[in-house]
Amino acid sequence: MKAVICREFGPRSDLRIEEVAAPVPGKGQVTVRVEACGINFFDGLVVEGKYQTRPDRPFSPGSEVAGVIEAVGADVEGLAPGMRVLAFAGFGGYAEVTLVEADRVYPIPQSMNAVEAAAFLITYATSHHALSDRAAIKPGETLLVLGAAGGVGLTAIELGKLMGARVIAAASTDEKLALCKQYGADETINYSTEDLRQRVKSLTGERGVDVVYDPVGGAHAEAAVRSLALNGRYLVIGFAAGDIPKIALNLLLLKQSSLIGVFWGAFARTNPEHNARNMAQLFAWFADGKLKPHISASYPLDQYDEALDLVMERGAKGKVVLTMNNTMTGVAA
Ligand SMILES: NC(=O)c1ccc[n+]([C@@H]2O[C@H](COP(=O)([O-])OP(=O)(O)OC[C@H]3O[C@@H](n4cnc5c(N)ncnc54)[C@H](OP(=O)(O)O)[C@@H]3O)[C@@H](O)[C@H]2O)c1
């Protein structure tokens, strides 16, 4: 089968497409013939050896796939060859066939096509876990989303609105903010041209926001912490800007606020039943038309480099997806 292979950690330009043996499922595992694979910012970090988990080499990047179960290993119940699924692979998704633990595989809802499915899992599951399980956001609270037009950011807007919050979206361009408005943001802040803290103050009558959702880190983090209301919660999602901010803890004491780490992948691995309940809620919202994954670009596997560059170089809006030149698209059977 064809796969994008990383032989050693290093620049993304070292990745190559190779012919390699297809994986065989072991106990508790299935293989999925991949129709589409969602690209995530951390795919690039993994390849460069800068992510918190470092797979054995060689490996293929790509952690979320949609496709058809090809083979099922021992002790797997409820899954069978031919089922259309989406799956949290961890690694191995930029390939025609990938290996997945059976408890991270979810049947695709009827109305969801494979490209949507490949764009659905990590972003929505992360934002749901963050806002609901970690921040316990309540109707009427105010949510500030940084990097709000990005993969996880856009889902935080949608889910924040569904959970009854007033959502302020912050991003670097007016074009990105226009998309945030389409996805339900009540207010927007362009942090390239406006002072984040002053704008939050004026939008909240000096009170500040109850919850910050931060997948960016970098220069805006301190202003966002200072923008918390009393009893605020600051969700640490990621560091797309590259810098891991250092925050003076007195800021939290003064606001009686909390810094909350979020790591959905670890949560899903250690709490599969809780995660499955969250996924069921997300699928139900999708089926009701309440969630609409935004796929701004899709590329064939051969153009994985362009697709990954778009995400890593701040060019993407919503999700970018790779497709595998096989059956694909259309509505799930
Ligand atoms: N904690 C978890 O469980 C979890 C789960 C999924 C993802 N994440 C993390 O969340 C972060 C975002 O992931 P994503 O897939 O949503 O990425 P994405 O689609 O690329 O969005 C990231 C956003 O960050 C902003 N940004 C600021 N400086 C940037 C830079 N130098 N390069 C790239 N983007 C920059 C961009 O928005 P503006 O241009 O508007 O600033 C961009 O839209 C990553 O760090 C990822 O590892 C964490």
Burial class (CB in 10 A: 0-12, 13-18, 19+), 199: buried
CA R_g for the chain: 20
What pLDDT is recorded for position 328?
Answer: 40
Band of the pLDDT at 332, cuts 50, 70, 90? Answer: very low
Q: Are 154 and 148 in contact (CB under 8 A)?
A: yes
SS3 at position 166: strand
Q: What is the mean pLDDT of residues 267-285?
A: 95
Phi/psi at 37 (nearest 5 deg)? Answer: -130, 125
Calculate how far, in angstroms, residue 126's C-alpha sits from the geometric centre of ligand 1.
Answer: 12
pLDDT of residue 322: 97
Q: pLDDT tens digits, residue range 185-200?
A: 999 999 999 999 999 9
Average pLDDT over residues 199-216: 98
pLDDT at position 57: 97
Instruction: Please state the pTM of the whole predicted model.
Output: 0.95
N-term to C-term CA, the chain: 25
Nearest CA to ligand 1 atom 9: 238
For residue 53, the model assigns a pLDDT of 86
Reported confidence tier of residue 326, pLDDT bands at 50, 70, 90: low
> What dihedral do alpha carbons 318, 265, 68, 328 form, nearest 10°?
10
Other C-beta atoms closer than 10 Å to the C-beta of 233 total 23
pLDDT in tens, 12-50: 999 999 999 999 999 999 999 999 999 999 999 999 999
Atom of ligand 1 nearest to the CA of 320: 19
Tens-digit pLDDT profile for residues 50-97: 998 899 999 999 999 999 999 999 999 999 999 999 999 999 999 999
Size of the chain in residues: 333
| Closest Cα to atom 31 of ligand 1 | 241
From the CA of 234, how far away is ligand 1's center (Å)?
16
| CA 1 to centroid of ligand 1, rounded, Å | 31
Average pLDDT of the residues in 266-293: 95
- Tell me how far the alpha carbon of residue 33 lies from the centroid of ligand 1, in angstroms: 28
Of 65-74, 240-249, 317-326, the least confident:
317-326
Which ligand 1 atom is nearest residue 40's CA? 15
Q: Is 277 exposed, middle or buried (0-12, 13-18, 19+ CB in 10 A)?
A: exposed
For residues 299 and 291, what is the distance between their CA atoms, to the nearest angstrom? 23
Nearest to 209 by CA among 230, 223, 228, 225: 228
Q: Whose CA is closest to 186, among 168, 200, 159?
A: 168
pLDDT value of position 59: 97
Work out which ligand 1 atom sits closest to the CA atom of 148.
40
What is d(CA 3, CA 12) in angstroms, rounded to the nearest whole number?
A: 15
313-318-323-328 Cα dihedral, nearest 10 degrees? 180
In contact, 89 and 99? CB cutoff 8 Å:
yes
Q: How far is the CA of 79 from the centre of ligand 1 (A)?
A: 33
Q: What is the mean pLDDT of residues 212-225?
A: 97
C-alpha torsion 85→183→124→220, nearest 10: 140
Q: Residue 71 pairs with which residues in a beta bridge?
A: 31
Between the CA of 147 and the centroid of ligand 1 the distance, in Å, is 6
pLDDT tens-place string over residues 130-179: 999 999 999 999 999 999 999 999 999 999 999 999 999 999 999 999 99
Mean pLDDT across 278-288: 96
User: Is residue 323 in contact with ligand 1, taking CB distance under 6 Å?
Assistant: no
Q: How large a percentage of the chain has pLDDT more than 70? A: 97
User: For position 88, what pLDDT does the model report?
Assistant: 95
Q: What is the pLDDT of residue 52?
A: 86
Nearest CA to ligand 1 atom 37: 147
For residue 111, the CA-to-ligand 1 centroid distance in Å is 28
Predicted confidence band of residue 331 (pLDDT cuts 50, 70, 90): very low
Long-range contacts: 283-291, Cβ < 8 Å, 24+? 283/106, 283/109, 283/112, 285/162, 286/109, 286/111, 286/112, 286/120, 287/109, 287/110, 287/111, 290/158, 290/162, 291/124, 291/155, 291/158, 291/159, 291/162
Predicted pLDDT of residue 329 = 41
Residue ID of nearest Cα to ligand 1 atom 14: 151
pLDDT in tens, 84-136: 999 999 999 999 999 999 999 999 988 999 999 999 999 999 999 999 999 99
Please tell me if the CB atom of residue 216 comes closer than 6 angstroms to any atom of ligand 1.
yes
CA dist 272 and 262 (Å) reads 16
Closest CA to 155 of 183, 118, 186: 183
